[in-house]
A and B are shown apart, each in its own frame.
Chain A
């Protein structure tokens, strides 16, 4: 069993290195993330390279470093065969498989489909080419999966491919990568009950996956390693966003509205989740249904449509919970600068792991044509 830290979930170097220190490999989906992992000191052979868009340069780098390349489409497979010949090196590859696990929507846009035989076809192309070293099988059945059983189906279908490869080519797959998508304790929009009570625990996922693998017909002498690319399930609950109240107002229908100093620019995930927001100081016993707005002058900037909160005053502080995943990689620098990020370690020591942005950060890459340098605005 091996974890591979999903960079796209949160690629702050400090966060990545916590997981690398714990033994996690790196799972990256772009050349940018790949370089970041290398810069963090991850050995090339411990980087899993996913995603539909890997440039030829990216692939060359990955081949040279012995990274595990998860092929997404035939075009990539062909260019790998071509590059293998050019570089005189056998790339270590896996294919990404998509499949029907009873989940809607079915993520069939990534990788090769299992049911229609595309996956089996791609595997045969790899084996017959003899240029690529097939080391694994990968799938990623969806995101925020609330049904552990889907993983059992995925595990079954991947082991089925592995067994067929073993039968046909006497070749043993070294790992099965079931991707990520495990739910955190966040509450998805539209859920009736809070996620903390209803979302499956990690144990439940572990139980179905290991049972499926153990009960498969895999050769016990050559059991593949299980790789998981969990990101959110490991980091979401560990992130908090601290903000404060800018103002309160009554809307036309009489509903209370509170404007906070963070919005969808910082809390991108509020598009998906009903984030838990709590006040950070003593509050009144009286509470009221409130809408929480962000500070942007855009209508979409809503943190919570409806939340029962005590009455807050200007300057009161609030905490947004479970924000560790997908925010620092997806947040927007829209009309304002982004705040610093701190890490509190086990000894409760505080470390700044990302500083405040300044105007300079933003304009440093800008270039001004000569004729625009002078403005005469009087």
Chain B
């Protein structure tokens, strides 16, 4: 029952706020109230929303979409449009329901047709439906034109008595510039409420919902305003036909909703506004002959055009980034996009590791001086070196004297063997075989247009055949000294075509450790350089086990506050949703921390919920964990701007965020202690979250996280003067 109640409330309210690309409940309530100023129109809208959502549910459409209001907001607009025009009678009621069904069908159809192109249907269903219904109903004699809006004072008196009438009067006689009046009226006009009062309420709601959206609405409107003065269009025309909102909606859509808010997106808003003015003027002339208003047509045309043409770019020279994961808020879109761009910009690369065990030195890197040149410059040569930087022992006159010789070569990633050469003799030290330049070679196809090539392998050491499927880490050959190779070494490169001799491509290695002595650096999706000593990540069993959270797993903590001596039990549970996102949920606060464990690194993607919960601190403490232990290894990362914050400062930040971000929160962690690398029973990390404003440290929360052999966590949190210890219990 509770679920249906929730679905009903969400689907109804979101249908209102979705018109402004929001799912803010408060905003929705404000809009709902505004529509109810014209009580019959408001009710018509509400009936259309509820009816559409019921139909959608009954016909078995996606519940998430229903609850997001995606299916009903066009019906809402149609309902409002019809509601302000006709008086509420039985005949109208039936017509209203029909319009809701029709709009819903159009919504689904348009979603299907243009959704394929990853485009939103916006308010196209509304436009088609309302035009049709107005043309059709023109001669329906049982419908009566509504008198609402003509006797506005009567209506206001009916709602709020004399007091509200006075308020309304006061508001309308405010000495505000004419442009602002038009701005407010344009906002109200979206919901067929042509009063200043309605506009101010909606503007307020818009400000609560998003500072970026609010500033964009002003930007869009005033650009239009200035443009109109410039070309000499009478602004009162907009006031009269109430279509100023096209500029506002387009500004929000392009400036911050479908595009990540940025300088570039603001710039494009300014560029697109004159186009809307042209479309408005042009289409108005056509539609007027049918006695139809153009409503949001210009907005739909321009937004769809612009979003569509963006998809065909081959280079992002405009620095316009489309929003991939919609958070229904320009702020969140911006902060989370920036954060994930920094954190995961490389995660679409196919993960490739190093093709060997242990530490190898890059004796020739990309664009190396010896052979890695021109079209073959993206390649590495690897050799094993000892502490004295030598590549051999004994006299170094035989291949066997070289550390690299005959060492196992493993598949850097899974794939299919495309090419194998296995019969070229190993050279004597110092000799090179220029006729068979690459020597014994394996080429593996990993994915479309990604092949790796391993060369100079030892004669007869190759264990795989053409067409074999190899697993990552499988031994496939031994390092040798064949081809153009004066001493044993491994040549490794990526290429887009399957041939021996293909030109190379630049492609990063997924994860590796770069070390100088006992100092380690963790690298991800990077291209190691000449002279670096690098190795694959050696995973630690205890860490891998401890951070291997499985759906259904329950984790319980006892939380002790050192100051107040308070003691509390906290329980978590691990879930996986149907988008395959895994998250830990706090039983009490219902906070969610979304995580990913790719086998080498455990990291949190996102947190939502109570920022005083233990789960939030755990999210901060283990934001990014390498699942191997390297003493003193430091790992850095950044939290989204809106994650740890001062609410007031954040409001300020929101306004200027597309241009400059002055708040940031850094994550730092270091590997502290391990009792034993073979049979690990205990590992300790230190980490902290540093919150900075204009680069000056404002707040620091420090953590000490230890993990014991039975995978039990102990987290000590130091936040200001508060010290809290949370210990896992079985």
Contacts and interface: CB of A to CB of B under 8 A. Distances in A.
B475 interface: yes
B410 A2 contact: no
B473 A45 contact: no
Interface string B669-696: 0000001101101000000000000000
B681 A45 contact: yes
Interface string A81-93: 0000000000010
A311 to B, nearest CB: 39
Contacts of B474: 220
Nearest to A224: B678
Interface string A222-234: 0001000000000
B408 interface: yes
B624 to A, nearest CB: 22
Contacts of A46: 676
B227 to A, nearest CB: 63
A205 to B, nearest CB: 15
A135 interface: yes
Nearest to B474: A220
Given A220-B474, A221-B473, A45 B679 contact: yes
Nearest to B411: A220
A67 B474 CA distance: 32
Contacts of B410: 220
A112 interface: no
Nearest to B539: A221
A43 B676 contact: yes
A92 B679 contact: yes
Interface SS, A side: mixed
A73 B501 CA distance: 60
Contact of A66 (B471, B473, B475, B681): B681
A133 B679 CA distance: 10
Contact of A220 (B473, B675, B678, B679): B473
A214 interface: yes
A323 to B, nearest CB: 27
B678 A175 contact: yes
B473 A135 contact: no
Contact of B679 (A66, A172, A221): A66
A174 interface: yes
Contacts of A172: 541
Contacts of B473: 220-221
A120 to B, nearest CB: 23
Interface residues of B, number: 12
Contacts of A68: 679
Given A214-B408, A220-B410, A45 B475 contact: no
A178 to B, nearest CB: 16
Contacts of A133: 679
Contacts of B408: 214
A135 B475 contact: no
Interface in B450-497: 471, 473-475
Given A214-B408, A220-B410, A174 B475 contact: no
B475 A225 contact: no
Contacts of B676: 43, 45-46, 66
A174 B681 contact: no
Nearest to A175: B678
A45 B410 CA distance: 32
Contacts of B471: 220
Contacts of A225: 678
Nearest to B677: A225
A221 B410 CA distance: 11
A220 B475 contact: yes
Contacts of B678: 2, 45, 135, 174-175, 225
Interface in A141-183: 172, 174-175
Contacts of A43: 675-676
Contacts of A214: 408, 475
- Give the interface centre of A43, A45, A133, A174 by most chain B CB atoms within 10 Å: A45
Interface of A: 2, 43, 45-46, 66, 68, 92, 133, 135, 172, 174-175, 214-215, 220-221, 225
24 contacts: A43-B675, A43-B676, A45-B675, A45-B676, A45-B678, A66-B676, A66-B679, A66-B681, A68-B679, A133-B679, A135-B679, A174-B541, A174-B678, A174-B679, A175-B678, A214-B408, A215-B475, A220-B410, A220-B471, A220-B473, A220-B474, A220-B475, A221-B473, A225-B678
Given A68-B679, A92-B679, 14 more contacts: A2-B678, A43-B676, A45-B675, A45-B678, A45-B681, A66-B681, A135-B678, A135-B679, A172-B541, A174-B678, A214-B475, A220-B471, A220-B473, A221-B473
Shortest 10 CB-CB contacts between residues of A and residues of B: A220-B473, A45-B676, A214-B408, A174-B678, A92-B679, A221-B473, A135-B679, A220-B474, A225-B678, A45-B679
